[in-house]
Chains A and B, each alone.
Chain A
């Protein structure tokens, strides 16, 4: 009696394990998310980087342009996307699985390189932005608040480089895998 119970228990556990291994993407929490996506899974994604929206801040144009250019460079470095397009690119309409990256400045603290060099503890340039990845039909697949700053050495524009690197890293490190849409939707929930 005891032996048959044990055998049936083992068979039950094995059946559950087999089900989980066979259908890894069909956990109840993920089903609806995967269905709500419009993009086709399995094909590589591309991204179009929009110009930086200064929001309410009085961020200098040089900083806005530097963030935009550094973002394009850093996203290309990650090799996560098949193509990294600029705003206004004529090819954007023909690229399948195109995502749009929008960056909005939330907070900007202007710094001073001389003050940093003299005092070490003050004069940091700090930037806080909201980064959003949209699908071409306007759905948000990833939203993050990212910081970039320069505290000790380097010019004020160095903050834009650090910020762009952090945004690219945040996109890469999220559960976003680039081609698996279910993972992308999981990333959006963070």
Chain B
């Protein structure tokens, strides 16, 4: 009787230790889960967001192929060309977002001229390495007159996804963006196989 009692007394602290370790483990596990969750969805719909972008075409009163800052603030998407007033459009007017990747030669016109002038076809060798992948972000929106408008931005690779996620968090539909990306890559593979 006494032995049993003593044994029980000995086991209690042991069980308390295990429970404590288990509790700590659980706490650590849920903590990690929470941390992972917070890194997976960093998009905060109200927080301002900005990134460098090149406006390819579509925005009114803005030159084509000009660099600037693309930012999302509240309910507005703004593009500010360096040293010029920003052009704004309401995010609620954006109907669709499409994202695709494109490989482009870097350096612009000066580089092209330099490559053309290089002797013994050295320019071609340079071209082989002087390219970079970009995200092409296409937005379709409705103007004040009810007409359909389109605007295209070029962003560094990876930035397009961030902008799209921000816009989706603000309520824009991106239904066919993924399909488009898949479709394009399939087409490219098909072309490569030919």
B87-120 with Cβ < 8 A to chain A: 96, 98, 100, 102-105, 112, 115
B152 adjacent to A112 (CB under 8 Å): no
A65 adjacent to B103 (CB under 8 Å): no
Measured between beta carbons, the chain A residues less than 8 angstroms from B191 are 110
Is there a chain A Cβ closer than 8 Å to B17's Cβ?
no
| Choice from B58, B124, B138 contacting A117 with Cβ under 8 Å | B124
B100 adjacent to A113 (CB under 8 Å): no
Is there a chain B Cβ closer than 8 Å to A62's Cβ?
yes
Given A89-B145, A90-B145, A157-B56 contact (CB < 8 Å)? yes
A91 adjacent to B145 (CB under 8 Å): yes
Closest to B149 in A: A86
Is there a chain B Cβ closer than 8 Å to A9's Cβ?
no
Q: How many residues of B contact A (CB 8 A)?
A: 38
User: Interface size class for chain A?
Assistant: 20 to 34
A62 adjacent to B149 (CB under 8 Å): no
Measured between beta carbons, the chain B residues less than 8 angstroms from A61 are 96, 98, 100, 138, 140, 176, 180
B58 adjacent to A110 (CB under 8 Å): no
B154-184 with Cβ < 8 A to chain A: 176, 180, 183-184
A103-124 with Cβ < 8 A to chain B: 110, 112-114, 117-119
Closest to B177 in A: A61
B148 adjacent to A87 (CB under 8 Å): yes
Given A65-B152, A88-B146, A89-B146, A110-B188 contact (CB < 8 Å)? yes
Is there a chain B Cβ closer than 8 Å to A69's Cβ?
yes
Measured between beta carbons, the chain A residues less than 8 angstroms from B138 are 61-62, 65
B128 adjacent to A110 (CB under 8 Å): no
Is there a chain B Cβ closer than 8 Å to A144's Cβ?
no
A65 adjacent to B58 (CB under 8 Å): yes
B115 adjacent to A117 (CB under 8 Å): yes
